[in-house]
């Protein structure tokens, strides 16, 4: 009997000091791609080098031990350099290994990537991979013509070529996740002791028009959803089989279809699982759902992120955000009223940004009163709609810095270093203000916010900023930090 071909799915070891603060997060895309590959007869292993904090020596050891026929990896813009290093490493170990790259950055920048890295990249999968990758590998190993496979790009010997786009998967209920391949002990949500954390989705796509965002481009402004029954059954499965007790809903807009979303909430309430859910959604949907927000909380949703992005109406228009300042404030107020953690972000650093405008945004952020807020750098992905407008202000093409933390756009009246200092200062002052009002919070939010402080101190790039102002902290938080001072260490 012929040996089954082995595919090693590797998450590259990129770290920015942001997502690591809250916990370790699995690569959901690989869970469904692994399921599709296994269904097509491939032997599959998921290797999350990022969550393991493995370096390239460990990754090389894994490839040598695993002896895969295929190494597939995944890249957003910030992680593309590491993705390329993984592919190059695989080729160094064994030139016969087939290397495949996918996700947002390769989907749009396939020509540049193939032209500059054709010795280490065999194929790029553009768009969703569950149907494309098995078909591509079947074609490759049968010595077929990859030009007949939709949704791929490759070097044909003289130039980079891309085939016709593949249609999006219509029936998301048909996808089966390879949840048994997940190393569950690696995934935890730090604010919740004893947690086993999953990333899940109930829908795919985004029909919004935000000019700085990659998601609406990747999904071509289309949206599809799993049935409420499929989504809730999947949650129940990973809860029962693997002890998952908290999950991030990774959808951009899980609430887009009001009927479907309320049906999902009703099913979650009926099942009564001991489960905490975190999600993001649109400001408009929260305002729309004012009458059923109690169902969100009863269904187990304890943390909601809404994208406010700016307190300036003119900037909101330039970002193509279909939301008003008043709606944003109302949405956060409604979330707070249900004792759900509210989170938002403010995207700053446009060419006209100044110290005063950042300070004004900070004051309005306090007025909005989210429990958590982050001040992020505008990051024009090379394929985004806003890229051309900002290209003359971009100061680096080092994609590893395109992480929303390190400014890559230089305002006319500030240096990138000054801008980053202002972001850090705004975040620090926001949380100092928030922690000064701990006594007015519910016990749930109070405990959560103290846990957040500990995370920011121990695991966030903001740790040194916060430690430097302990004298300005409320007594309870100051005492907490001093009691745990020895365990606090800055993140590089």
The domains of the chain are located at 6-162, 174-437
Phi first, then psi: give them for residue 303, nearest 5 degrees.
Answer: -150, 125
* Residues 14, 183: Cα–Cα separation, whole Å: 19
Give per-residue pLDDT as tens, 23-46: 788 999 999 999 999 999 999 999
- pLDDT at res. 462: 58
Give kind and range of the element (H or E) at residue 161: strand 160-162
- The whole-chain average pLDDT of the chain stands at 86
- At residue 58, the 3 state secondary structure works out as helix
Number of DSSP helices (H) and strands (E) in the chain, helices first? 20, 15
Strand partners, 246: 197, 276
Least confident of 21-35, 197-211, 382-396: 197-211
359 vs 311 pLDDT, higher one: 359
**Fold agreement between 6-162 and 174-437:** no
Select, from the ranges 215-219, 230-234, 457-461, the one with the highest average predicted confidence (pLDDT).
230-234
Q: Is the dihedral of CA 149, 150, 152, 154 positive or negative?
A: positive
Reported as half-sphere exposure (CB side, CA atoms, 13 A), residue 200 has a value of: 30
Give per-residue pLDDT as tens, 420-437: 899 888 988 888 888 888
Domain 174-437 has CATH 3.20.20.70: yes
- pLDDT at res. 446: 86
Domain 6-162 has CATH 3.30.300.30: no
Report percent pLDDT > 70 for the chain. Answer: 85
């Amino acid at each position: 009997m012929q040996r089954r071909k082995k595919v090693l799915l590797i998450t590259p070891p990129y770290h920015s000091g942001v997502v690591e603060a809250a916990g370790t997060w699995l690569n959901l895309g690989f869970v469904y791609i692994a399921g599709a590959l296994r269904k097509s007869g491939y032997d599959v292993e998921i290797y999350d080098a990022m969550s393991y904090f493995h370096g390239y020596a460990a990754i090389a050891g894994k490839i040598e031990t695993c002896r895969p026929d295929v190494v597939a990896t995944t890249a957003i813009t910030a992680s593309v350099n590491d993705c390329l290093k993984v592919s190059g490493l695989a080729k160094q170990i064994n030139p016969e290994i087939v290397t495949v790259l996918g996700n947002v950055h390769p989907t749009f920048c396939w020509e540049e990537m193939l032209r500059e890295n054709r010795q280490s990249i065999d194929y790029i999968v553009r768009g969703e991979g569950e149907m494309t990758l098995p078909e591509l590998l079947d074609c490759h190993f049968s010595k077929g013509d990859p030009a007949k496979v939709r949704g791929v790009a490759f070097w044909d010997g003289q130039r980079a070529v891309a085939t016709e786009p593949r249609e999006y998967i219509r029936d998301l209920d048909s996808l089966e996740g390879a949840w048994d391949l997940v190393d569950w002990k690696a995934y935890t949500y730090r604010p919740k002791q004893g947690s086993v954390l999953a990333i899940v989705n109930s829908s795919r796509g985004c029909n919004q028009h935000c000019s700085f965002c990659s998601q609406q481009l990747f999904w071509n402004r289309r949206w599809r959803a799993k049935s409420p029954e499929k989504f809730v059954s999947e949650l129940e499965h990973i809860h029962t089989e693997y002890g998952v007790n908290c999950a991030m809903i990774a959808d951009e807009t899980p609430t887009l279809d009001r009927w479907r979303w309320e049906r999902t909430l009703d099913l979650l309430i009926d099942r009564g699982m001991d489960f905490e859910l975190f999600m993001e959604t649109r400001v408009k949907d929260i305002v729309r759902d004012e009458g059923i927000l109690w169902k969100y909380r009863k269904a187990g949703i304890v943390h909601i992120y809404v994208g406010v992005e700016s307190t300036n109406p003119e900037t909101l228009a330039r970002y193509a955000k279909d939301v008003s300042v008043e709606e944003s404030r109302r949405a956060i107020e409604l979330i707070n009223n249900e004792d759900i953690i509210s989170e938002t972000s403010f995207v700053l650093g446009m060419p006209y940004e100044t110290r005063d405008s950042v300070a004004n945004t900070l004051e309005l952020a306090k007025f909005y009163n989210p429990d958590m807020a982050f001040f992020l750098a505008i990051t024009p992905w090379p394929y985004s709609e806003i890229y051309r407008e900002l290209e003359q202000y971009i100061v680096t093409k080092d994609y590893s810095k395109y992480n929303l933390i390190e400014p890559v756009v230089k305002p006319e009246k500030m240096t990138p270093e000054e801008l980053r200092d202002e972001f850090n200062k705004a975040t620090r002052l926001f949380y100092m203000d928030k922690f000064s009002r701990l006594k007015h919070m519910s016990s749930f939010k109070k405990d959560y916010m103290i846990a957040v402080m500990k995370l920011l101190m121990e695991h966030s790039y903001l740790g040194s900023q916060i430690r430097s102002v302990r004298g300005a902290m409320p007594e309870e938080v100051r005492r907490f930090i001093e009691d745990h001072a020895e365990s606090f260490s800055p993140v590089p």
